[in-house]
Chains A and B, each alone.
Chain A
């Protein structure tokens, strides 16, 4: 049987909607879900999910934090849900998906539109990410100089009296 992995990168409320569309688009698959530890009991409510894999970190999905349990697992489809229309702000999850072995990667947006994203497209996004990071880092270093000087005084002034 073909296997499909859903990366739980959005709220359960959105997933309640998305799951129906995913099953309609990919019927006759065995469905697995990758989720943070606190959500396991909530994901267990989906009867269709045959296996739950715990993301063993507190932080968001990142290619720097791959899942050892999935190192040798091969999926036919990996679904990446996003909580908006375009997937903006989810580059970390797209990039994380490269740490998973899968024949297809599919984005599922807020209104359950599904479309493929290739590893080539993610790598191209990575190039843009590096460029944007350089510009943002330069800007934040300049702003950071002011912040480092100014913020401690500001925070002191905000403190509760007697604390």
Chain B
């Protein structure tokens, strides 16, 4: 009797990256796993991304948004995904050829494994490193774990159980951009599931220095850092960490001669109403152990 493999849905959010989307979808067509559902959510691109997907990839399930609503558009794709597992990618990333098969293997062995974090590598070196990365010995110990702290994942390559993801409410739409993975990580760990890195489950990502130089990364990372702790930390930890973040916003504003961190902090307080009904403090042990790199917010600007 033939073994039946579970359906996996790959969900990509696209915005004005027609050529990258085409390239990613071509790589996805080479993936050695079936059954596979590919969903592209087009966040109202005006460069013809949606038309290109319709014309060149008729098997792809295309969802066209009427306007750019940020990461909330991912949730539309997640909700429509029929797979037992959802693989999340960016519009400039794609899973390696064996990644989905390996991911399903580890999920099927462990019901409490909530998310499989891929090793996200630089696409610029795809030709140099792909063979080495993909042809690793499959019996080798490949979990990348820390013994006394917990990790999140990179949204350019991760697999999540659909039922769990639905239960925790998918990505936080109020975040718009950045730190959405960390928000999910709090909820996954708090739901009693684990997130694990596997070094032989790889995705490739076009790492763009240009995008990182914009104001968006420091602004949204900083604002959402406040929102993360207000949503998930126990009261005393939220107070302490808020004070620490305020200090950092002031410090790095002086260091980098910018007002972007102060604007982000102001925005966090002014728009805190968007979090109404969304605060649920996680277990203290999770809040203490989950590694949140708050300094990251202050390293993008200059």
Chain A residues in contact with chain B, CB under 8 A? 11-14, 16-17, 20, 36-42, 44-45, 47, 58, 60, 82-86, 88-92, 110-111, 132-133, 135-137, 139-140, 143-144, 147-148, 151-152, 154-155, 157-161, 163
What are 17 A-to-B residue pairs whose CB atoms are below 8 Å?
Answer: A13-B205, A17-B124, A40-B144, A41-B143, A84-B301, A88-B298, A88-B299, A88-B302, A140-B250, A144-B246, A147-B239, A151-B238, A152-B235, A152-B239, A155-B235, A155-B238, A155-B279
> A116 CB to closest chain B CB, in angstroms?
20
Chain B residues in contact with chain A, CB under 8 A? 119-122, 124-125, 129, 132-133, 142-149, 151, 197, 199, 205, 207, 209, 212-213, 230-231, 235, 238-239, 242-243, 246-248, 250-252, 254-256, 272, 275-280, 289, 291, 293, 295, 298-302
> Do A41 and B199 have beta carbons less than 8 Å apart?
yes
> B256 CB to closest chain A CB, in angstroms?
5
> A152 CB to closest chain B CB, in angstroms?
6
> Do A160 and B280 have beta carbons less than 8 Å apart?
yes
> Do B251 and A82 have beta carbons less than 8 Å apart?
no
> Do A84 and B212 have beta carbons less than 8 Å apart?
yes
> Do B132 and A45 have beta carbons less than 8 Å apart?
yes
- Interface SS, A side: helix
Which residue on chain A has the smallest CB distance to residue B199? A41
> Do A89 and B298 have beta carbons less than 8 Å apart?
yes
- Complex: A144 Cα to B138 Cα, angstroms: 52
> Do B247 and A140 have beta carbons less than 8 Å apart?
yes
Q: Which residues of B contact A161 (CB under 8 A)?
A: 277
Q: Known: A155-B235, A161-B277. Contact between A140 and B246, CB under 8 A?
A: yes
Q: Known: A13-B121, A90-B299, A135-B254. Contact between A163 and B280, CB under 8 A?
A: yes
> Do A139 and B250 have beta carbons less than 8 Å apart?
yes
User: Which of A13, A92, A152 meets B120, CB within 8 Å?
Assistant: A13
Q: Which residues of B contact A148 (CB under 8 A)?
A: 239, 243
- Which of A83, A84, A111 counts the most chain B CB atoms within 10 A? A84
- Complex: A39 Cα to B255 Cα, angstroms: 30
Q: Which residues of A contact B199 (CB under 8 A)?
A: 41-42, 44-45
